Every structure is written in structure tokens, then in C-alpha cells.
Amino acid sequence: MQKRFPSLSGYGVTWSANKRVAIVALVITALLIIAATTAWFTGRGEHSESTSAPSQESSSSPSEAAPKPAAGSGSAPKPPQISEPVAFAKAAAAMLWSYDTRDTDRDQQLAGMGAWMTKETKYADWASVSGQVPDPLLWSRMADQNQHATGTVTEGHYPGAFKQALAEDPSAITEAYIYVVTVNGRQQIEWKKGGGGAEERAVTLAVQCRPSHDCRLAGIAPSVTQ
């Protein structure tokens, strides 16, 4: 029986216990209070700077800034021109659940994903996005098996806590215009010799949608909030 390699979206960066607890706590706060959503990403960046030395020990730990797609992005799709948060989050989720190691190397995949990120580094949590990509060794093994995946979205919505907070203080979001959206869908994975399978997927994203601007991805929450 052919060995199945881990799917791209299920492979994340390894965080220390203290860092994981801190991030989860900040995410919960962000969902309950819209103003705290901005604080999550601001604090996330400051935390990364203060722990830059330990983070370099992980092969999946990226730099703070998303890479420039100078070398091309292979099969990774370009971000759509969408100014509505839920619609953009659905497109972003499909992008995160899709990859093709047959014609896209790891650097190209990262570059393609980086093109979806907000250029406002104060609010960009690139580590949470790039952490979805396997390390170079695992990516090469996936490529040996011609592994590729296609993500499809069934629905996207604002979590209940976020909608409640938005209703209680609509003006709080106007500082960063970051919206929290949960997307549900499915990922179809295939590899050579007819191997394949499908998995249900769910992700909670933070997307920035400033007025009169296309939306951009700000980060991925470490846990799904419905």
C-alpha cells in the first residue's frame, strides 16, 4: 500500500507551549472585542521580534515579511480583486488548501501565498500563513509522489462572537479594518499511481479590507472558531 504523505494544510509550524498559549489567548480576546483583533496582530509581531533566536531553530519558521514573487509562483493563484471580507476569505481558504508539487517548488508556493498578504506589516502575521507549508525535505518527498491538492469551499461566515462585538461597537474596526471569517470546505488530495483521498477542512482567517481597496490576508488563527 502506497504511503500517503501529509497534506499541505495540515502541516503547521511547531510552537513552544508558552507561545501557543499566548497566541490562543490573544485570538480569543480578538474575537470577543474587535479592537483586540488589531492588538492580536500587533502583539504577534512584537512577540516574534522578542523571540527571534528560538524561532530560527524551526525549519518552518519564516522571516517577518512575506517573500516577493520574483521567481514566479508556479500554480499558486493570484489574489482576486475582491473587497468583501467573506468572499475574499473563501478564495484565500481555497488557495491555502490547494497546491501542486508537480510544477511548483516550495519557494514558489511561499511566494504565491505571500502575494495574498497585506502589505501593512504591522498587521501581517506571515508566520501563521507560511507555517502551513511543509519543510523542504517533506515538500521534496511530496514532489517525488507528484502530490497535489485542490480545495473547494462550501461556505464562509463571521463567527458569532465577532458579529456580536461588531454590533456592540461598529466603529472599533475602523483602525485596521481586519475581519475574522471562518471558512468550511473540502480538500481533494491525489498522488501518482492513482492514490488519493479527501478531507473536510475548516479555517478561521483574519482578512484586511480597507474601504476602496481589495482585501488581503492578515493571518490564520491557530484554532477554528465557528
pLDDT for the residue 85: 98
Average pLDDT over residues 109-133: 96
Which H, E and C letters describe 19-36, residue by residue? HHHHHHHHHHHHHHCHHH
pLDDT for the residue 186: 98
Distance CA 62, CA 131 (A): 8
Cβ proximity of 126 and 64 under 8 Å? yes
C-alpha cell at 180: 475574522
> How would residue 97 be classed by pLDDT, with cut points 50, 70 and 90?
very high
Taking alpha carbons only, the member of 208, 48, 222 closest to residue 118 is 208
Residues 28-81: tens digit of each pLDDT? 444 444 444 544 444 444 444 433 333 333 333 333 566 554 456 577 899 999
Check: pTM over 0.85? Answer yes or no: no
Write out the H or E segment, with its range, that includes residue 167: helix 160-168
* pLDDT score of 151 more than 80: yes
pLDDT for the residue 119: 96
- Helix, strand, or coil (residue 164): helix
pLDDT for the residue 71: 52
Instruction: Name the average pLDDT for the chain.
Output: 78
> How would residue 159 be classed by pLDDT, with cut points 50, 70 and 90?
very high
pLDDT for the residue 226: 87
For the residues of 1-65, what is the DSSP string, one character each?
A: -PPPPPPSTT------HHHHHHHHHHHHHHHH-HHHHHHHHHHHHHHHHHTHHHHTTSTTPPPSS
> How would residue 102 be classed by pLDDT, with cut points 50, 70 and 90?
very high
pLDDT for the residue 193: 86
C-alpha distance from residue 126 to each of 3, 44, 49, 100, 209 (Å): 31, 10, 13, 21, 17
Lowest-confidence pick of 15-29, 76-90, 104-118, 201-215: 15-29
Residues 174-207: tens digit of each pLDDT? 999 999 999 999 999 999 988 999 999 999 999 9
pLDDT for the residue 28: 44
pLDDT for the residue 112: 96
